């Protein structure tokens, strides 16, 4: 199962785990895969704390996932600090949207945050706010991989990461996106089908993966979108993938920083319970459907704003949902893929890695036995 990208990163298995929880990232890396910490929810100062902790607790390498959209409101505004950009973009958010979001939370009896927990609204959703995060990453030698979740990273970011000896790649949901990544000189692509959680396109993984492999040639493709067991890993590798990029799977592990009530929501959900919605981030994002996602679809209510303005409206709801998960059960942000239908028990992260490998081996053995009969 070892592929070239394993050798480049010094990992045992090409199993990549995207997560917002440092404990999960560390556990996966120490089990032979590569934990990839999502940075979008952290300020630069907070990210420094997280990566310093990972340096101490990870034996080998880990990765970091950034969000630098190719298109977003405010991209053409140059020369502003992150705080100045946030203030400028805040002026573009209609009060009607803020009032509507607040009404949804109030109607569901979700308490407001304490004054001490008020937050900035932009975080790492633009090139301006990601720049300080990159400076942090470059101070941590165990951070061997950087991935961009939305679009091809700017050329200066690509050079900066590669000149430091790290690998940089990006997610794609179409052949066009993959070719853009290759043209930009990235080291790998993460090809995610529409089944995947979070931001995704419209093409199913089984159709998209081989198309992208054929289009990008010898550039490593990590398969994402609906992978929850080793049989699916084997299928991806059979189609030419260099590894498996997983995300939703790590929301229901013991180490996940997911409130029990929210984790139970994932465990109880089926694959029919997800929807692609712009209601939280402004771009199509797969999540569990609930009263929040349904409300933003009603014609009499405001339409979701473009990224990052919609998240500036919704971030208070994200924070309140995390702090008061019981109250926010029907209006919480639950990004997850259709694979949620397979996530029906809590496991340790290391056990999940072991299970994926064992199931992969069993799937390959099954195919080998079929070949022996030919």
The DSSP element (H or E) to which 202 belongs, if any, is: none
On average, the pLDDT of the chain sits at 93
Identify whether residues 237 and 112 lie together within a single domain: no
Considering the domain boundaries, does residue 271 fall inside one? no
Q: Whole domain around residue 157: which residue ranges? A: 4-72+125-257+344-372
Mean pLDDT, to the nearest integer, of 255-270?
94
Same domain, 64 and 33: yes
Domain match, 117 and 130 both: no
Count of structural domains, the chain:
2
36 and 131 share one domain: yes
pLDDT at 249 over 90: yes
The Cβ-side half-sphere exposure at 116, using a 13 Å CA radius, reads 0
Question: Pick the residue with more confidence: 150 or 36?
Answer: 36
Residue 300 placed within a domain: yes
- Whether 216 shows a pLDDT value over 90: the answer reads yes
CA distance 316 to 111: 11
- pLDDT beyond 70 at 134: yes
| 155 and 229, same domain (yes or no) | yes
Over the stretch 63-97, which tens digit does the pLDDT of each residue have? 999 988 777 676 777 677 777 888 888 899 999 99
Let me know whether 249 and 364 are in one domain: yes
Residues 6+ apart with CB under 8 A from 29: 11, 35, 58, 59, 60, 61, 62
Q: Is the dihedral of CA 156, 191, 25, 309 positive or negative?
A: positive
In a shared domain, residues 153 and 216: yes
Q: Which pLDDT does position 68 carry in this prediction?
A: 85
Q: Could you tell me which residue, 371 or 285, shows the higher pLDDT?
A: 285
Nearest-Å Rg of the Cα atoms of the chain is 20
pLDDT score of 301 more than 70: yes
| Residues 41 and 185 placed together within one structural domain of the fold | yes
Asked whether residue 252 is assigned to any structural domain, the reply reads yes
Which stretch of DSSP H or E encloses residue 101?
helix 95-107
Question: Do 23 and 141 reside in the same domain of the chain?
Answer: yes
The confidence score (pLDDT) of residue 374 equals: 67
- pLDDT of the residue at 19: 97
**Percent of the chain clearing pLDDT 90 (strictly above):** 80
Are residues 103 and 245 located together in one domain of the fold?
no
Secondary-structure breakdown of the chain: helix, strand, coil percentages, each rounded to the nearest 5: 45, 15, 40
CATH code: domain of residue 193: 3.20.20.70
What confidence tier does 124 reach under pLDDT thresholds 50, 70, 90? Answer: low
In a shared domain, residues 146 and 45: yes
**Residue labelled with tokens 């993966």:** 209
Sign (positive/negative) of CA torsion 251, 256, 257, 259? positive
Q: Which residues does 287 contact at the CB level (< 8 Å), separation at least 6?
A: 197, 198, 274, 275, 277, 280, 293, 333, 334, 335, 336
Whole-structure pTM value:
0.93
**Lowest mean pLDDT segment, chosen from 39-48, 112-121, 175-184:** 112-121
Q: Within this chain, do residues 93 and 149 fall inside the same structural domain, yes or no?
A: no
Per-residue pLDDT, averaged over 190-195, amounts to: 96
Spatial CA neighbour of 24 closest among 258, 261, 250, 355: 250
Q: Is residue 263 part of a domain?
A: no
Partnered with residue 15 across adjacent β-strands are: 244
């Amino acid at each position: 199962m070892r592929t070239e990208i394993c050798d480049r990163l010094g990992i045992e298995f090409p199993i990549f785990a995207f997560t917002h929880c440092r404990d999960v990232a560390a556990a996966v890396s120490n089990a032979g895969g590569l934990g990839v910490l999502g940075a979008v929810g952290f300020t630069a100062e907070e990210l420094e704390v997280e990566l310093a902790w990972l340096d101490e607790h990870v034996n080998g390498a880990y990765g970091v996932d950034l969000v630098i959209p190719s298109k977003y409101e405010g991209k053409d505004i140059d020369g502003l600090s992150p705080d100045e950009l946030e203030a400028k973009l805040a002026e573009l958010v209609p009060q009607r949207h803020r009032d509507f979001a607040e009404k949804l939370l109030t109607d569901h009896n979700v308490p407001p945050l304490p004054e001490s927990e008020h937050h900035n609204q932009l975080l790492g959703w633009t090139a301006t706010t990601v720049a300080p995060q990159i400076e942090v990453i470059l101070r941590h030698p165990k951070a061997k991989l950087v991935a961009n979740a939305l679009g091809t990273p700017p050329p200066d970011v690509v050079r900066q990461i590669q000149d430091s000896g790290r690998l940089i790649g990006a997610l794609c949901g179409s052949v066009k996106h993959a070719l853009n990544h290759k043209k930009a000189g990235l080291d790998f692509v993460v090809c995610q089908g529409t089944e995947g959680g979070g931001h995704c396109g419209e093409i199913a993984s089984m159709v998209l993966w081989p198309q992208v492999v054929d289009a990008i040639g010898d550039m490593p493709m990590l398969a994402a979108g609906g992978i929850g067991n080793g049989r699916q890993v084997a299928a991806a590798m059979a189609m030419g993938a260099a590894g498996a990029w997983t995300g939703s799977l790590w929301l229901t592990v013991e180490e996940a920083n997911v409130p029990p009530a929210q984790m139970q929501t994932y465990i109880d959900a089926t694959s029919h319970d997800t929807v692609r919605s712009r209601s939280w981030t402004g771009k199509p994002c797969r999540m569990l459907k609930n009263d929040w996602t349904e409300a933003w679809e009603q014609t009499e209510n405001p339409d979701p704003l473009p990224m990052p303005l919609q998240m500036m409206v919704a971030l208070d709801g994200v924070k309140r949902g995390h702090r008061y998960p019981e109250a926010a059960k029907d209006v919480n942000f639950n990004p997850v893929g259709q694979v949620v239908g397979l996530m029906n028990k809590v496991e340790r992260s290391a056990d999940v890695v072991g299970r994926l490998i064992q199931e992969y081996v069993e799937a390959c053995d099954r195919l080998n036995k079929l070949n022996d009969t030919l």
